[in-house]
Amino acid sequence: VKVLIYQLFNESFTLPDLPKQNGKVAIVTGGTRGMGYEISRHLVSLRMHVVIVEFMYLDLASLTSVRQFVQRYKAKGLPLHVLINNAGIMLVSERRTEEGFELHFGLNYLGHFLLTNLLLGVLKKSGKPGKCSRIVIMSSATHYGGRLSLEDLQGRKCYSAHGAYAQSKLALLLFSYHLQDKLWAKGDPVTVNTVDPGMVDTALYDNLCGPAQLAKRPFAKLLFRTPAEGASTAIYAAAASELEGIGRLYLYNGRKTESSAISYDEQLQARLWKESCALVVLLKA
């Protein structure tokens, strides 16, 4: 709550001029509205070729759809220089993905976990030292309140929509740190950074209950960021020259920030990775 209140009264980051990205290709999940749309628009203005999912269909709540999307993407023979894992849902009442995972965990985290792993080969091939490919992951300040319960990742014992969303955003951070360590251990030219966009007035809040929705509207108009403002740190992470070769950061307002203590727990990162591989049946990861 402290972090969210701080963010409400904190000015948003102004994007510096970024270098043109001619010849580069990006995928932005959830690129059709909200911050994903603004990220895509800006990357296109930098002359990047941007694939937004819907023009190439991807349902992150279905691991079959994730696998089909990657197959279709690979069949195009395109390189991939930037992957922005932006799509997400929040505060949804208890529901399951196609494969039966809790929806926040399955869509926000596990779908992106599989997507990223299946695209790693293309990302590695498309980068080189001094010109690394980049993975940018949208987390959130709500991760500070998140708990990761490896024994009950699917929230079967006690479901809370807030808890499920916070857990999924914490899982994304644990994943990003562990992935960067694995890539660096092999000298692969890919960086991974995670972004907190601040509080942004988008359709993400559509699942708030009726009275909270009414109370939020005027408040959000005054204090929340616009989607373009919220998108700025992710755009910066995708294209800034000063972030070349730099990874494992949690960025807020264009600057490195500390994420929660638990997100740096390497044992937990490794256990979540192993469990996630088992859940998506990714034997070679």
Ligand X SMILES: NC(=O)c1ccc[n+]([C@@H]2O[C@H](COP(=O)([O-])OP(=O)(O)OC[C@H]3O[C@@H](n4cnc5c(N)ncnc54)[C@H](O)[C@@H]3O)[C@@H](O)[C@H]2O)c1
Return the active site residues.
Answer: 165
3-class DSSP state of 32: coil
3 binds ligand X per the rule CB under 6 A: no
Q: What angle do CA 107, 193, 126 make, to 5 degrees?
A: 90
DSSP class per residue in 90-155: -S--S-B-TTS-BHIIIIIIIIHHHHHHHHHHHHHHH-BTTB-EEEEEE--GGGGG----GGGTT-
Among 138, 161, 190, 272, binds ligand X (CB under 6 A): 138
Cβ nearer to ligand X, comparing 48 with 60: 60
203 binds ligand X per the rule CB under 6 A: yes
279 binds ligand X per the rule CB under 6 A: no
193 binds ligand X per the rule CB under 6 A: no
In whole angstroms, give the CA distance from residue 235 to residue 244.
Answer: 13
In whole angstroms, give the CA distance from residue 104 to residue 169.
Answer: 9
In whole angstroms, give the CA distance from residue 199 to residue 225.
Answer: 6
117 binds ligand X per the rule CB under 6 A: no
Cβ nearer to ligand X, comparing 115 with 127: 115
Cβ nearer to ligand X, comparing 34 with 247: 34
Q: How far is the CB of 53 from ligand X (least distance, A)?
A: 6
Cβ nearer to ligand X, comparing 193 with 202: 202
36 binds ligand X per the rule CB under 6 A: yes
89 binds ligand X per the rule CB under 6 A: yes
Give the contacts of 129 (CB within 8 A, at least 6 positions apart).
Answer: 189, 245
Question: Residue 66 in contact with residue 114, Cβ under 8 Å?
Answer: yes
Q: How far is the CB of 164 from ligand X (least distance, A)?
A: 12
In whole angstroms, give the CA distance from residue 39 to residue 238.
Answer: 9
Q: Which stretch binds ligand X (CB under 6 A): 8-16, 67-75, 88-96, 269-277?
A: 88-96
Write out the binding residues for ligand X, residues 154-183 only, by CB under 6 A.
none
Among 40, 140, 253, 263, binds ligand X (CB under 6 A): 140
136 binds ligand X per the rule CB under 6 A: no
Query: Which residue's C-beta sits nearest to ligand X?
Result: 34
In whole angstroms, give the CA distance from residue 111 to residue 258.
Answer: 25
Task: Give the binding site for ligand X (CB under 6 A).
Answer: 29-30, 32-36, 53, 58-61, 86-90, 107, 138, 140, 197, 199-200, 202-204
